[in-house]
Structure 1
């Protein structure tokens, strides 16, 4: 009996010692990375920068796919119907995943989404065509005051970071402008370039990608962004306005705690790659690290912030 107990204990030790080794095997096959927006936007750009680092570190492929529509809701409403084995992950955005369910039934609730990592944010920025009549933010504000509602802003989706920024700007500047939502940053920027709108609430990343085709009037960061050293912040111009879009990764809610941690660790390793970090900074992104273990606190802070904004926008919380 005693000998049997010893054998059982030894067997249990072997099983337990094998568990970390199993965890370290992830991934053993390609990972599908679903982007809920059009190709060419910030979510796509970030994924394309993550892709080679993932493949270098794991020896596996990262397959980027697109499931755009309804400002991301088309994809997020389908996430939990997908396999929760860690081989399907999906990009998520703030404030989208908090603001959208507040405003209407979009097929998912914020708490339905299992976020495992947030890895960057992009500051909001006002852009206009390079040949725009508006040379400065002050000129745009003056025109908007003289012509209520005539200034049109494109932006990435309804109840998105761009939408929040536009409403905040209107309040702080004492103006009334018109917001026109698009299905992603790329088509919203195209609308600016094609003079379909007079201006766009975009991000530093999109502005950088357009180079001389657009003029940036202001950025919503605490300090000037290195990629735009000559562009003032809203704060410098007298508007207490900072913020932008946070982007992360979620897994289906059927994923085990082990899988959630594995995916979080994987994204964290990519975020720690020096070349990746430099490319992100060069592209106008601000790298952050919010792993799975810190997600509850992070989301709680963001929710409190966006609930206040929702009240200002007249959004009824569902």
Structure 2
């Protein structure tokens, strides 16, 4: 036997004698899913919906606990997560369009970088705007009869996901005065319920979970959804709310509202960034590939479960769920807008609300 053959034989024997690489196993562990919003909003409902399903599919069936870290429109929690590094795979972070928008707009409070994080699941959502019964009775599919009304809206902030409804209402010629500073959209709904606000919007999961009951009780009147995207990028009716007109339809029916031009292009760009890939689950920087794959496989099993479409439609809406490479592509789409759309919105924020991001 040659020296080379002997070395090869010894190496092979050593390999066979060594223990196999340990598989990812979360038995007996607790996964903390941190949400940078309050427990009353759509992100809370999204995470609480997926948490037990994720627990069932992860290796070892760990307990998945949703924790909340609200503040500064979610930038507080996102900045905290940026400082976290991989430990043992028991930390996952959930973002929303309200986390993406400050990043897109170069908000000075942002100290996080999406490219440092590991996306394992992304899901779209929609949104529904609704009115109090008195003003809702004047809505006829256009905003023409709503332009002389002074509305009050509970808002997390103009640079958050609320940018989409605020710009939409302005394009419709409506007078909507935002009350800034609420911690989550659920708090905005509570303002509406108490009569402190006269117009509101919720993402699909929150609308299905609470606001739809207000409609059923005659305490709210649906106005429009933001819509969804078809394969060609056109705005079409939201599959969760197929009987509800989209903002595009209401705009087309409203005097002075245009579905082309700078304002429309900017609105659509931020709608695309904020809703079709609105909620994303991340693992921290430095997560090993095998751990990321375990999460990807678990979320993939969740979305492929035979009963998933039915239960998802009831709780979070009928929207596509992306995992792995699909989640990475969705994250890129949700954190990118054109320079023209960005410039328009930054100028609009300054003119409409005195918000300067310089």
Interval containing the TM-score (normalised by the shorter chain): 0.7 to 0.9
CA 1:279/1:309 → structure 2, altered by over 3 Å: closer, same or farther?
farther
SS at match of 2:279: strand
The structural deviation recorded for 1:40 is 2.8
Q: Which residue of 2 aligns with 1:18?
A: 20
Select 1:233's aligned residue among 246, 250, 257: 246
The structural deviation recorded for 1:39 is 1.0
Tell me which moved more, 33-42 or 208-217.
208-217
Select 1:217's aligned residue among 218, 223, 236: 223
Q: Which residue of 2 aligns with 1:186?
A: 186
Tell me which moved more, 66-75 or 52-61.
52-61
Q: Which residue of 2 aligns with 1:49?
A: 49
Which has more strand, going by share of residues? 1
In 2: Cα distance, 1:164 partner to 1:317 partner: 18
CA 1:293/1:180 → structure 2, altered by over 3 Å: closer, same or farther?
same
In 1: Cα distance, 2:326 partner to 2:244 partner: 33
TM-score, scaled relative to structure 2: 0.74
Select 2:114's aligned residue among 89, 111, 132: 111
SS at match of 2:126: strand
Q: Does 1:145 align with 2:185?
A: no
The structural deviation recorded for 1:184 is 1.0
SS at match of 2:319: strand
Q: Which runs of 5+ in 1 are unaligned?
A: none
> Is the CA contact (8 Å cut-off) linking 1:100 and 1:106 kept in structure 2?
no
CA 1:169/1:268 → structure 2, altered by over 3 Å: closer, same or farther?
farther
Q: Which residue of 2 aligns with 1:39?
A: 39
Q: Which runs of 5+ in 2 are unaligned?
A: 229-235, 253-258, 260-267, 348-355
TM-score, scaled relative to structure 1: 0.82
CA 1:140/1:62 → structure 2, altered by over 3 Å: closer, same or farther?
same
CA 1:299/1:308 → structure 2, altered by over 3 Å: closer, same or farther?
farther
Superposed CA deviations along residues 225-260 of structure 1, whole A, max 9, x for unmatched, are 455454222233344566553111112213233333
Which is higher, the Rg of structure 1 or of structure 2?
A: 2
> Is the CA contact (8 Å cut-off) linking 1:127 and 1:207 kept in structure 2?
no
Select 2:344's aligned residue among 308, 312, 317: 312
SS at match of 1:200: strand
Superposed CA deviations along residues 260-314 of structure 1, whole A, max 9, x for unmatched, are 3333333332232233332221225233233332455433333333754432222
Q: Which residue of 2 aligns with 1:292?
A: 324
CA 1:283/1:111 → structure 2, altered by over 3 Å: closer, same or farther?
closer
In 1: Cα distance, 2:66 partner to 2:244 partner: 33
Q: How many residues align?
A: 311
Select 2:6's aligned residue among 3, 7, 22: 3
> Is the CA contact (8 Å cut-off) linking 1:36 and 1:66 kept in structure 2?
yes
Select 1:62's aligned residue among 64, 70, 75: 64
Tell me which moved more, 108-117 or 194-203.
108-117
In 2: Cα distance, 1:229 partner to 1:101 partner: 30
The structural deviation recorded for 1:154 is 2.7
Q: Does 1:90 align with 2:93?
A: yes
Write out aligned runs for 1:270-289 (5 A).
270-289=302-321
The structural deviation recorded for 1:79 is 0.8
Q: Which residue of 2 aligns with 1:195?
A: 195
| Cα-Cα RMSD | 3.1
The structural deviation recorded for 1:224 is 4.1
